[in-house]
Amino acid sequence: MKIVVCVKYVPDAQADRRFAADLTTDRDGVDGLLSELDEYAVEEALKISEAQGDTTVTVLTVGPQAASDAVRKALQMGADAGVHVLDDGLHGSDAPATSLVLAAVLAKMEFDLVLSGMASTDGGMSVVPAMLAERLGVAQVTYAGKLEVKAGTVRIERDGDASTEVIEAALPAVVSVTDQINEPRYPSFKGIMAAKKKPVTTWSLADLGVSADQVGASAAWTAVEAITARPPRQAGQIVTDEGDGGSKLVAFLAGAKLV
């Protein structure tokens, strides 16, 4: 069985994230890492591989040179190989362009199951898995809180507010998983050392047969028109309790229309 996990290199959510001069996400001036939500997809792929045997796990990313760190983290966790699409023409690509490039890569690979996180921690759109499945012409099942692969099918459980849906699809398929599906492992020292010898293939847009005018900021369906800096945090109000603290608190909440 061949599993491909789509992962993304994103700005660290704990860092001071900002936009670059061209109004795209600044990925050079802040620390980046493997999207935390994608770690759950990597972990699920590894669990399937360990349970079934005779399974390869390949991680796939589209992004700048630094995105190789996301691939390396997944390899340290236990993935077998990596693919990195690296091309200056990709800068500013939106979800449709990203799905186009991912589909072009997968068309050159053999796969039975494509896994991804439920969203990226920088964009948060949650649409790339569906777009990718449409481009590949395969089934898609999303927001899996539990996943089982057996006899050429994938079966998931999706938790809703009032019920749990059980969905089954024939392989090949694209599946996105939630942050409730497992607990991602930490890379071991052995895994870190082993990752140095694992193959990582780098492809350009030309290698994939994708034209530069199909991707990048100029081809994006969406664009940031303007940005406004978040206002500085205001100092809090100190209320001295002289026996009427409760009344003052209620008055404050009422004035802020919170009650």
Domain limits, the chain: 2-219
**pTM > 0.75:** yes
Q: How confident is the model over 86-119, as pLDDT tens digits?
A: 999 999 899 999 999 999 999 999 999 999 999 9
Secondary structure of residue 195 in the 3-state scheme: helix
* Superfamily holding 2-219: HUPs (3.40.50.620)
* Predicted local distance difference test score (pLDDT) of residue 29: 66
Secondary structure of residue 95 in the 3-state scheme: helix
* Predicted local distance difference test score (pLDDT) of residue 228: 83
* Predicted local distance difference test score (pLDDT) of residue 15: 67
Q: Average pLDDT of the chain?
A: 92
Secondary structure of residue 246 in the 3-state scheme: helix
* Predicted local distance difference test score (pLDDT) of residue 19: 75
Contact 74, 42 (CB under 8 A): yes
Q: How confident is the model over 47-68, as pLDDT tens digits?
A: 999 999 899 999 999 999 999 9
* Predicted local distance difference test score (pLDDT) of residue 80: 98
If we measure between CA atoms, which residue out of 109, 6, 111 comes closest to residue 61? 6
Q: How confident is the model over 1-51, as pLDDT tens digits?
A: 999 999 999 988 776 767 777 777 767 667 889 999 999 999 999 999 999
Q: How confident is the model over 193-205, as pLDDT tens digits?
A: 999 999 999 999 9
If we measure between CA atoms, which residue out of 38, 83, 37, 91 comes closest to residue 64? 91
